[in-house]
Amino acid sequence: MKKFVNDPAKFVPEMLEGIFLANEGKLKYEPKYNLIYRADRPSKNHVSVIQGSGSGHEPAHVMTVGPGMLDAASPGNVFAAPPMEYCLECIKLMNSPKGVLVLINNYQGDRMNWDMAIEMAEAEGIKVKSFIIDDDVAVQNSSYTVGRRGVAGNFFVMKACGAAAEKGKSLEDLLELAKKVNANVRSMGIALTSCTPPAKGKPIFEIGDDEMEVGVGIHGEPGRRRDKMKSADAIVDEIYDAVAKDLPFKSGDRVALMINGLGGTPPSELYVLYRKAALRWHPDRNPEDSEAAGKFKQVLDAYEVLSDSNRRARYDQDRPAQAESETQEEPAKEESTQFGADPGNGFHFTQDFNRKIEPEPKCPSCAVVGTERIISRKAGASSARGKQFILAPFNIIFCSACGHVYGVTASTT
């Protein structure tokens, strides 16, 4: 084993001391309990957000302590849950009148020790709640968990709750936010090699030079299967499909993508992987798919018109016509109000006020029921970004109240 290490038994304490020394004035360090915490926390005006798991997953969790993130972290040894005493001291140290939120990745050791610490803290009168993160789609159960494992999706929960706590949100608000974020986050991992914890001195599992573990856990737990090595693009395709099919989203929704290296993948390789993922969800950037690029360009240009304040003002002026038509028992004859002869990109936009979608959806952005349909009619060739595009008609379904776009469909008009 070749590692930058002194005494393997002191690896974690020396790492924590290094983090503290690099951030003096911003962070504090309690060596007795392996605690890294913000110098300005706890605060009587803010919920304290804390987390702790085994070391070896950096930057989680000790390197995410700071404004808008965690207020404190309590790490155990490499791949080992923090002892219950460490968890309890972390809760007590971060005790705030507004409460303490403990984020826990779904692993049996973490849950057991934090659960005991929370019970003891509550017995001492501390207001504390916990939330379990389980974002991994690779397997339902494993040797370390009942249910899905908590992996990289943890960062989204951590960031959202940390930012909300910074704004003074209540403990109950943070719990609801954690539930919402966790319900909309999915992840999956691939291992090309095993890892070597300093105290163990040898790889935690064996894998061939031409093999990869598909769906590996963050402690080296088995995934879905052992497979032969594939290209970076093929690996992204498999992970992308597994995650995308499990997400509760629809075409047109905005999402965030994180490529996580599990602590051992060089940034250069991560960007190779990101490139493929970006081409999957940004078809206009894929030179190999000219048809998809043209369609995506149409969506961008149409949305630009919807976002233009002057053109949107014309649309808003015509909204009473829609309200009047909806009160009629029989559908009125369709009429169109045109945004203009040519908005500057080769399009002619028309607004169909009397065409409704059944059943009327509830906008996920503003909760208003009812949408309207914009139809973009073909107007020949258009030039943009130095390229020529043949513009086919299509529909944009969007919320009339806030402009949220539900999706894009083909138009036959």
Q: Is 327 exposed, middle or buried (0-12, 13-18, 19+ CB in 10 A)?
A: exposed
Q: Is the peptide bond before 359 cis (omega within 30 degrees of 0)?
A: yes
> With a threshold of 0.85, does the pTM exceed it?
no
Q: Where in the chain is the domain with CATH 3.40.50.10440?
A: 8-183
User: How much is the pLDDT for 310?
Assistant: 63
Point out the residues that are catalytic.
57, 219
Q: Which residues contact 365 (CB under 8 A, 6 or more apart)?
A: 399, 402, 404
CB 348 within 8 Å of CB 382? no
Q: Where in the chain is the domain with CATH 3.30.1180.20?
A: 190-285
Residue-wise pLDDT tens digits, 277-327 = 888 876 555 555 555 555 555 555 555 555 555 655 554 555 444 444 444
pLDDT by 10-residue block (mean), the chain, 413 residues: 85 94 95 95 96 85 93 90 94 97 90 94 96 86 71 91 96 96 90 80 83 81 85 91 84 83 85 89 60 55 57 53 45 37 39 45 62 43 42 55 57 49
CB 298 within 8 Å of CB 378? no
User: 241-264 in b/e burial notation, b at 16+ Cβ within 10 A?
Assistant: ebbeeeeeeeeeeeeeeebbebee
The two tokens of residue 282 are 């940004």
Tell me which H or E stretch contains 372: strand 371-377
β-partners of residue 351 are: 337, 374
User: How far is 274 from 60, CA to CA, in rounded Å?
Assistant: 21
Tell me which H or E stretch contains 28: strand 27-30
Residue-wise pLDDT tens digits, 45-98 = 999 999 988 888 888 889 999 999 999 999 988 888 899 999 999 999 999 999
3-state SS class at 165: helix
- Reply yes or no on domain 8-183 having CATH 3.40.50.10440: yes
- Reply yes or no on domain 190-285 having CATH 3.30.1180.20: yes
